[in-house]
Amino acid sequence: MSSVEMDIFKIILESGLVVKSVFIILVLSSIISWSIILKKKRLLSQLRDNDLEFLDVFNQSKSLKEIMYKAELMDFSPSRAIFIEGYNELNKILDVSDRSHFNTYGFSSIERSIENGMNESNKRLEALLSTLASIGSVSPFIGLFGTVWGIINSFTGLAGGGGSLERVAPGIAEALVATAVGLAAAIPAVWFYNYFTKENANARGEMENFGRDFLNLIERTLSSKGRKN
């Protein structure tokens, strides 16, 4: 196995300037891709943990004010962002509106604030995904360019006289290695792009569910205050 690795390494070192450039681009693309993958996986894990912590507070607290007090001390999470946006908008409306005005316009305003919280979370979830998608879609074509160039070198060797294996082998080897490196850069990027897209879709569904639960809690809270008054 080590001899095969050394042969591939030797092929890369002895390849032409164009093919070397292709290898460098693909290796850098792969490094960037894996950096994004690891960063996104760490972010998703942190957001899940933070969300569970916030939801525990949300379900166990006795009032919206208590939830807000505890939420301000917690790290960012999608549900926390939605709650803070909605709670702040609720207070603004109650400060300037009577109850009839709130019933007419208040919930629409809070719904828009909840959407703002969701958009903030979506930006964090979708950050760098476009870069990952670009690497996944472009890398095979960069590898294909190296492949074509290697084949051109092979035909150049044939045109130089003779059809011996020694003349065509270097160009064919460059072509095959360029193809392999292009696929090695593209496959993880495409796979994890699809994985993160699916995880983000699940997160958006959970945010929508929480937004509805939050609106229901606001309605119950206001209804109970109305009965007391």
Residue 147: the pLDDT is 87
User: Using one digit for the tens of pLDDT, what is the confidence trace for 144-157?
Assistant: 998 888 888 777 76
Q: What are phi and psi of 163, to 5 degrees?
A: -120, 35
| Confidence category of residue 103, pLDDT binned at 50, 70, 90 | low
Q: What is the reported pLDDT for 174?
A: 78
What pLDDT band is residue 6 in, cutting at 50, 70 and 90?
very low
Residue 122: name the closest of 195, 191, 204 by CA.
Answer: 204
Q: Which residue has the tokens 């609720």?
A: 90
Q: Which residues contact 129 (CB under 8 A, 6 or more apart)?
A: 40, 193, 196, 197, 200
The chain-wide mean pLDDT, for the chain, equals: 85
* pLDDT of 102 higher than 80: no
pLDDT at 1 over 50: no
The average pLDDT across 195-204 equals 96
Instruction: Give the C-alpha separation, 128 to 161, whole Å.
Output: 50
Q: pLDDT value at position 175?
A: 81
pLDDT (mean) for 190-201: 96
Instruction: Grade residue 200 by pLDDT with cuts at 50, 70 and 90.
Output: very high
Predicted pLDDT of residue 5: 45
* CA dist., res. 164 & res. 61, Å (int): 80
Query: Tell me, what's the pLDDT at 17?
Result: 82
Q: What percentage of the chain has pLDDT greater than the value 90?
A: 57
Q: In whole angstroms, how large is the CA radius of gyration of the chain?
A: 28
Question: For residue 3, what pLDDT is reported?
Answer: 44
List pLDDT tens digits, range 127-147: 999 999 999 999 999 999 988
Alpha helices in 97-164 (DSSP H): 99-101, 107-126, 129-159
Per residue in 45-80, pLDDT (tens digit) is 999 999 999 999 999 988 899 999 999 999 999 999
Contact between 77 and 47 under an 8 Å Cβ cutoff? The reply is yes
If you average pLDDT over residues 210-221, what whole number do you get? Answer: 88
Residue 161 has pLDDT above 60, yes or no: no
